[in-house]
Structure 1
Amino acid sequence: MNVIRMLQGRAVAAALAGFLALAAFAMPGLAGGPVETSPFAVQGVDIDVTSTDATSAKNQALMDVQVKAFFQLVEKLGSPGLVAQLRAKMKPEEIAPLLRSLSIEKETSAPGRYIGTFTVRFLPGKMEKFLAGYNISVSTVQADPVLVIPVHRAPDGPKLWEDNPWRQAWLNLKAEQGMVPIIIPLGDKDDIDTLTTGEALAGDTVKLDAIRKRYDAASVLVAQAQPTDDGGLHVYIEGDIKLGRVNINKIYTPETGEDGTPVAAETAATLAFKKVLYKAYEVQAIAEAEAKAARDNTPQLLAVTVPFSSPREWNAIRARILNTPSVSGVDLSSLDFGGATIRLVYTRSLEELQANMQRVGLNLSQGGNGWVIQPM
């Protein structure tokens, strides 16, 4: 990347094209599964480039797709206004250092033309820092992904992989990179060979686990929906996920959105499901934070040896220990001319205690005879 920053003009284009071509073929496996869940990734980025020949068109596409994906990501995490601001001043070579990898979802080429669809991933740390410069904070903490298998019980028979309004509503949800990633299978040949409609409806645990593993999801749910005579949709989703037990048995009806536009029953149901998962995650996160705070504030004891050469040195070391953040007490177990054995009373984690010791000039380390505190 440092080389890329130094290059100018055509050299930049050549370097970027070479780098992206390598990324496209060498790093597609960085994602956990065929659907990307990172909040700093953009999936399904379409590109269509015409040039003098197919190779030139593809090289240009590999450059253009990162720029297109970057502005899509900025709009998703920021705002259209920020996109307009950045388009006016950012150059492609300034975007390149933010790129982590890209992979090709599908591609076709013809003489002088290249058409492709890509997944583009950006470096989380660099993107967080970049967006923070525009007062945009991005939450990078996510729950474990949930794989949802939509089955539409249509009048002419249940449909799993065929096009239907229930499956499309889940695809339109686009919640793969949210607080609780909700993954919808692609419905490609591998999926079709792995799970049939009958197996999904029967809750075949072996087949459902196989497709769950393909998408690197922590849990899998079969979401059934059947149209009602009055235009509603009877939704049934039951199963266990990392956030708890899911048990939805409800009829959804078409609604009117906040902007006055009609919302189909299928869409209303998927939005309600997403809201339930997000709420469950928030409740779990609060409970875990409270439990961690309680653990952090619970006094802990650690037996430590403190070597010293004089009473003055011992007093100096003891004063530093007592001034260490998270240390609440020093209980003397034994004392002689060569050192002391103490019981250190502290809160929070042992790793944090070691870091705090270093701040006051002490080193807390574990040797063959136990824990030792010595001046740095």
Structure 2
Amino acid sequence: MQLSRYLLLFFTVLMLSALPAKAAEIYEVVGIKVEQEGEDAETAKNLAVADGEKQAFDELVKRFTDYGYIDNAPKASAAQISNSVRQMQITDEIATSKKYKAKLDFTFDSVKISKLLNLKLVAGQPVRDKFLLIPISSGTEGLSVWKSLWFEVWNSYRRDNIIIPVGDLDDIRALKISDLEAGIYTGLDELSRRYKSPIILLVEASYVNSLNELSVKVEKLVGQNKEIYEFKYPGGFGVGMAELYITAANDISFKIEKKQLTRENAKNITRDTEFVRNFDHGASSKGGKIEATIEVSNLAEWSRIRRKIINSTLVEELTVKNFQAGYAIVNLKYSGTPEQLAASFEEKGLILLSDGTNWKIEDAQDE
């Protein structure tokens, strides 16, 4: 069957199934870091929360201003800001008798914010989420964006809340394939401003001909927060790559409309997390175990890195916990200290990194 027929069926299903979406991520501000001192623990926490609310509100105002919802935001008091917070979540909390440190996620009340900021909307109506969706095709020759069947499928489907870049010279200059492969997001920020969309979806499709299977990785970027979703679409008799592209696009569009791309269903990664070659995990010289993430683009790369790991002198046992498109998670049992393990990795051309909690292994060949 010709692609045009599938596209017609695809759009018909979408028009029947798509429902208006309610406001969600655009009113969320996550990853606000606070640290305050006070006369006692309660005072320190109250000061930190107030500071976090102010930071989150300022970021929300900037978001609405950047994307054209407001022109000049009125000044708001601390009480008004606090009253507009609907929900707050606390992580990485450290409290002492006079100090408080944590990471805070805020969800603001859409109605109260609309009134407080005089949004260019009917009073009380929430802003509908807008997604800048960038289709990326991954194949044996690397990544491609503008000239692919995957982009053609998405480019034929446009809604008011799902925006596909037009692919003109400005887009091509902003979004370089080399940057995408290196995980550099500067160009994405430029596209986000151009299309007035605070939420970016990188939707990467990889078709495996031998398995007749399509793997799709969705990276959802909101500010500095990054969430990853992965889906697989197996083919069958009479169902090939073109049909799987349409099936996947239909499914992902449905998930967007139904608000199924949420933090609860994703592997969360913070874009500003700093992994360094500095280890302070309280490990003894007798060895230990770590769980590490390894970014890999294909099986050949994974085989090469795995071989280097098991040939390292201090590695006693390697167990693969999870292996999916884009990364592997492994459990390592080793002897010696983390510093000694890192040194043994360097001898094999590997780099061991840590952010203080999580571990990552990189191939020095990719630097």
Q: How would you bin the TM-score normalised by the shorter chain?
A: 0.3 to 0.5
Instruction: Calculate the TM-score normalised by the size of structure 1.
Output: 0.32
Larger Rg: 1
Task: Give the structure with the higher percent helix.
Answer: 1
Instruction: Calculate the TM-score normalised by the size of structure 2.
Output: 0.32
